[in-house]
Amino acid sequence: MNTTLSREIEYLPQSRRRLLVAVALAGYPVAVAALAGLKHTSVNRWLILAVFLLLLMPTLVTLAVGYRYARGRIDGRCARLDGRRVRLDERDLALRQQAYALSHRVLTVILIAATAITEIYLTSGNTLQLDANTFWLAAMWVIVYLPALPSLMLAWIETDQPADA
Amino acid sequence: MPDSQHSVHNRLAVLRTERGLSRRQLADKLGINYQTIGYIERGDYNPSLELALTIAELFRLPIEAIFSLKPMTPLSEEIFREPPEATR
């Protein structure tokens, strides 16, 4: 990633970062919902795949931006500032802790909501077919979001960077 | 951040400028990232007691001259303030 783009990501205002996080979180479920909706129609399979990938693209891009924004501060192995390797200072550590705590809360809310919706759906007389495809989509959600959530939450909570002086 | 995080005021920006230090230079002396200085100056981050004491030591000032729970008054106002009656 070139330096100018890296710096632009580093200095993204909080409002824009929050929009990116919202897109990252909503993108995958929207893409999966579109796939599920189109699967039982007569639309060409390749077209469905193209729509799915098109809807998935903003998620992938925003996840990458979120990860770059956290610039190694989440795992703390290669924290970077203006392209230089730096060690995490006390504010970075405090922020990381907050990001992990918020990730836990968000994950808990999502899992409880998903369980509640499924429960309501099942007790309303509907049936749910758990095949390999459904399982894979759920597993993908975990694979994509579980590692990315702390970075996204860090991007969500950090206030705007002070101007360099 | 919790509300209590916003209740500490500081004079870091004034002291840093007075000594002709950039954020980067001050951060290097303190062993922290320069952006943290900006966050402290803006009141978005309250330093740990250890960092606050290190800052006070660096500026050779008592900690209460740099950090306060009450909004800071301008330094000039404090210097030229009339001493209270009892101490005259």
Q: What is the pTM of this model?
A: 0.80
Number of helices and strands (H, E) in chain A? 5, 2
Give the tens place of pLDDT for each residue, A38-83: 888 888 889 998 998 999 899 999 999 998 888 778 877 666 666 6
Cβ distance A162 to B1 less than 8 Å, yes or no, reads no
| Test mutation, B8, B25, B35, chain A, max A CBs within 10 A | B35
For domain B3-87, the question of CATH label 1.10.260.40 is answered with yes
Q: How do the domains of chain B map onto residue ranges? A: 3-87
Of A60-69, A92-101, B24-33, B67-76, give the lowest mean pLDDT range. B67-76
Residue A89 has its nearest CB partner, among B33, B38, B42, at B33
* pLDDT more than 90, % of chain B: 62
Distance from CA of B73 to the nearest CA of A (A): 23
Question: Closest residue of B to A95, CA-based?
Answer: B1
Q: How do the domains of chain A map onto residue ranges? A: 3-157
Question: What is the DSSP secondary-structure string of A94-141?
Answer: HHHHHHHHHHHHHHHHHHHHHHHHHHHHHHTT------HHHHHHHHHH
Helices (H), A40-89: 45-70
| Test mutation, A82, A86, A91, A156, chain B, max B CBs within 10 A | A91
Give the tens place of pLDDT for each residue, B6-21: 579 999 999 999 999 9
Q: Write the single-letter amino acid at A95.
A: L
Q: How many CA atoms lie within 13 A of A98 on its CB side?
A: 16
Which residues of chain A approach chain B closer than 8 Å at the C-beta? Answer: 81, 86, 89-92, 94, 98, 159, 161-165
Distance from CA of B70 to the nearest CA of A (A): 23
Q: For B68, phi and psi rounded to 5 degrees?
A: -150, 150
Question: For B47-55, what is the mean pLDDT?
Answer: 96
